[in-house]
Amino acid sequence: MLGYKKHMLNVQYRMHPSISLFPCKEFYDEKISDALAVKDESYNKRFLEGEMCSSYSFINISKGKEKFGRGHSLMNMVEVAVISEMIKNLRKGCFFFTICVKCL
Q: What is the pLDDT of residues 51-102, one digit of tens each?
A: 555 555 667 777 777 887 777 778 888 888 888 888 887 777 655 545 444 4
Q: What is the per-residue pLDDT for 45? A: 60
The partner residues of 34 in beta bridges, in order of sequence, read: 12
Query: Phi then psi for 66, rounded to 5 degrees?
Result: -85, 135
The domain of 22 spans: 8-49
Give how many domains the chain has, as a whole number.
2
Q: How far is 79 from 59, CA to CA, in rounded Å? A: 9
pLDDT of residue 94: 57
Question: Is the residue at 3 inside a domain?
Answer: no
Asked, for residue 1, whether it belongs to a domain, the answer is: no
pTM for this structure?
0.42
Q: Rounded CA gap, 98 and 85, in Å?
A: 9
Q: What is the mean pLDDT of the chain?
A: 76
In the structure, what pLDDT confidence band is assigned to residue 44 with cuts at 50, 70 and 90?
Answer: low
